[in-house]
Amino acid sequence: MSDQSSTLHDSIDDAWMSESKQFRLLLNSVTDYAIYMLDATGHIQTWNHGGERVKGYTRDEVIGSHFSRFYEPADVEAGLPQRELDAAKQQGRYSSEGWRVRKDGSRFFASVAIDPIWSDGKLVGFAKVTRDVTDKRNAQRQLEEAQASLLQAQKLEAVGKLTLGLAHDFNNLLAVVINALDLIAIRVNDDPRVTRNVEAALRAAERGALLTRQLLTFGRGQNLVAQPLDVNRSIQDLNDLMRRSCPENVELAFDLAPNLPFVEVDKPQFEAAVLNAVVNSRDAMPSGGRIVITSALRKVADPTDTGASKKDMVCVSVADNGSGIPLEIQERVFEPFFTTKEIGKGSGLGLSQIFGFAKQSGGHATLSSTPGQGTTVVICLPLSVQHA
């Protein structure tokens, strides 16, 4: 009888031993997850290989220490570790995602689950599972950014098509108006009052025609005449016009890289783009400031095309230390007709022209702005094959 009972005990012990051994083996073979137990106050009781892999600490380094050591100092200060334990205790389970710190001080984005462990109605500790999801989070981020820039590009494309139709019709109407005004001017040239009015009407119609040309550039309906162009030379040619466009309290400075390769673009459109950017900078500095125009050869990729590889481009930037653009409207400034200026002061087409011209020339335009500090517009253009 006693023999039988001791055999039974041995086999139960064996089974128990092997079960706990198997369990330990199982825990330690999981290397993607840090799985460990805490006592009721948050001190670490067990540790697995996954813990070492995810957080960098060996078993001896962490057993007995408080689990808040894995949190960022600001989170510890804000009482996050204890709050998470309290939440697990109250809700029966707690899961969250957030930044944690490895032994070497590097950060990783963690997905965390905490389960309270009860024995006879008393809380005896917590089971905690942590997984490093940094790669997944980065991939998700990149996907979201790509989707956002695709959406923005599609929106601009759609607005471009719409404006293109309108601009064509408008251009034809303006051509009729301008021709008629020209004829009237010839017939009434002996009456100075009428002549003055006709001239004013002509100037307005020509300004309208200029605007529609900018619209056509944005909508890619304008046939650009690409020719090899030395951007530094073009900028120098524009110098007088730019200076005349700016009041005395606005300083114009240049930082042009020597010996730049030629680009292949439409010259008048390039000059219009630089002038549009300079005029925007001027308008952003009503009490004066500094505009710096630079040119440089750079290796860049189209920021709206996530798959694009970097290539050599000549980039011209116009930077100011003016008011900057409020964050909430930065996304919209390239849209045609988007303006914050009062009626008559701005038509909202300057940046659309810059964007459309750069895109249509096989390049791209970007804008960066810090409210209160200034704005930089960068136009990157492909190199001329003929002059490579």
217 binds ligand ATP (CB under 6 A): no
> For ligand ATP, which residue of 215, 238, 284, 381 counts as binding (CB under 6 A)?
284
Q: Which two tokens stand for residue 359?
A: 């895109």
Task: Tell me which of Mg ion, ligand ATP, none is bound by residue 132, counting a contact when its beta carbon lies within the kind-specific cut-off of 5 to 8 angstroms.
Answer: none
Interface map 268-297 toward Mg ion (x if CB under 5 A): ------------x-----------------
340 binds ligand ATP (CB under 6 A): yes
336 binds Mg ion (CB under 5 A): no
Between 39 and 283, whose beta carbon lies closer to ligand ATP?
283
> For ligand ATP, which residue of 134, 152, 195, 339 counts as binding (CB under 6 A)?
339
Torsion over CA of 78, 79, 85 and 89, rounded to 10 degrees? -100
Q: Taken in order 64, 67, 72, 73, is the CA torsion positive or negative?
A: negative
> For Mg ion, which residue of 350, 356, 363, 382 counts as binding (CB under 5 A)?
350
Task: Tell me which of ligand ATP, Mg ion, none is bound by residue 109, counting a contact when its beta carbon lies within the kind-specific cut-off of 5 to 8 angstroms.
Answer: none
In the chain, where do the E strands start and end?
33-39, 94-101, 107-119, 122-132, 227-229, 250-256, 263-265, 289-300, 311-320, 364-370, 374-382
Kindly state the number of chain residues that form the binding site for ligand ATP, as judged by CB under 6 A: 22
Task: Tell me which of ligand ATP, Mg ion, none is bound by residue 320, counting a contact when its beta carbon lies within the kind-specific cut-off of 5 to 8 angstroms.
Answer: ligand ATP
Position 67, amino acid: F
The residue nearest ligand ATP at its CB is 350
- Cβ atoms of residues 319 and 376 within 8 Å: yes
Selection from 351, 364, 260 nearest residue 310 by Cα: 364
Beta bridge partners of 298: 313
**CA–CA separation, 358 and 382 (whole Å):** 9
Binding site for ligand ATP (CB under 6 A): 276, 280-281, 284, 320, 322-325, 333, 338-341, 346-352, 375
Binding site for Mg ion (CB under 5 A): 280, 350
